[in-house]
Structure 1
């Protein structure tokens, strides 16, 4: 098995071990049709093991973002079932689905979405306040320490670099203690060196804290930090790579794009 210097724990789970870990998220026969009959996902069945890091890749319009949104409960599929943290999202009424997303799902996007007038600590605590939950200051502090910003709690976004702002966004997602952390191009707005820092952080959250991460990306170098890369085209799964390298991912993407 290959070993990568960017991984805190270089031992990548085997396929058998991934299956033994159990699924944090599982999609079964999921189809999603948008307006005018456009099929974004076409009978997708896939699972994401607990404590693992999966990257999702594919050409533009392949269904990557729709897969992420259905898996996270942001969109309901037209048909099929989505299980997250042992709950069937497709059967939950909207209020319970909202609560589940709030309590068990974390999101990190390309845009940092931090409020400029608030400190890093206040930005991390804000979703808890908006949800009407008591803010556990110790939990907020630990979340910032987990992303290497324990000494920047009092800094506002303008006083932080782009990479540090994304780390605050990750800490904000972690403060809810999510079963799954979803990332939609989380390093897309960062330069190469800063992107690597954030990807090392995501990798360490999996290796040190058994955090489950599902990340959409277009960057083969970013995908190489994951345990597995899932490839989509035309709303269908077209294969996967375990223990990926950037070179292998690039080659697979080239073949996928040529076949579309």
Structure 2
């Protein structure tokens, strides 16, 4: 719930859902449907006013900000529409940054493997300004995965990219699920992007309005369901 008294707005209402380990879920819905709020609550960025948020069998809803920060640094990865790279750091140092913030020494073999996975092994010494938008987002994906998180939350990760670069980023997220066993939860407005997921949740007015799985997870079906919810 946002606001107080007469100005209070319920952003999410009776939304209950499990994100199984090693799965890719896309969250969609019209503007104001609650999709970003759902992601923020699930990631411990925003506390729910009621209900709970379970990660690894523990309810994080009442945790202190210090404890939540430690959780996010060690068990959760983030990818945003804006790349949020540190301009003064090169690719390798940007990727390793979450480990350094958590007081952990980067594993050189792990770092090399990640840079190879995202196709940037030959760009490790480049700074963000020397990379394309698609390459910068691939750095952001590697950074999200470097601490071997249980779950990665991606908020419109392809929103600022052209179609080809967007496909590259989605393929990396898909590979994180299939190859590393990572759980990925992605907010997107694009049916083409959502079709990379195992499951699509559609929100409307803060409620879970539709859910697609299996063979129904196609761009055309997703677009049709999204249009029906928004009509």
More strand per residue: 1
Deviation at 1:54? 0.3
**Larger CA deviation: 141-150 vs 188-197:** 141-150
Matched, 1:99 2:63: no
C-alpha separation between the residues in 1 aligned to 2:83 and 2:125? Answer: 17
Matches within 5 A, 1:9-158: 33-35=1-3, 36-158=7-129
Structure-2 residue corresponding to 1:193: 164
- Among 204, 211, 214, the alignment partner of 2:175 is 204
**Larger CA deviation: 151-160 vs 68-77:** 151-160
Deviation at 1:52? 0.5
Q: Helix, strand or coil: the match of 1:255?
A: helix
- Among 167, 191, 194, the alignment partner of 1:223 is 194
Contact 2:12/2:37, CA 8 A, preserved across alignment: yes
**Larger CA deviation: 199-208 vs 219-228:** 199-208
Structure-2 residue corresponding to 1:214: 185
C-alpha separation between the residues in 2 aligned to 1:143 and 1:131? Answer: 18
Matched, 1:253 2:221: no
C-alpha separation between the residues in 1 aligned to 2:227 and 2:210? Answer: 13
Deviation at 1:219? 0.2
C-alpha separation between the residues in 2 aligned to 1:211 and 1:56? Answer: 17
Report the RMSD for the aligned CA atoms in angstroms.
1.2
Q: Helix, strand or coil: the match of 1:177?
A: coil
Deviation at 1:96? 1.7
Structure 2: unaligned runs, 5 residues or longer: none
Larger RCO: Structure 1 or Structure 2 (Cα < 8 Å, ≥ 6 residues apart)?
2
Structure 1: unaligned runs, 5 residues or longer: 1-32
Q: Helix, strand or coil: the match of 1:108?
A: strand
**Larger CA deviation: 230-239 vs 143-152:** 143-152
C-alpha separation between the residues in 2 aligned to 1:203 and 1:98? Answer: 26
Deviation at 1:217? 0.1
TM-score, normalised relative to structure 1:
0.84
1:197-248 deviations in whole A, cap 9, x for unaligned? 1111211211111111000000000000000100000100011111300000
C-alpha separation between the residues in 2 aligned to 1:84 and 1:101? Answer: 11
C-alpha separation between the residues in 1 aligned to 2:153 and 2:159? Answer: 14
C-alpha separation between the residues in 1 aligned to 2:37 and 2:114? Answer: 28
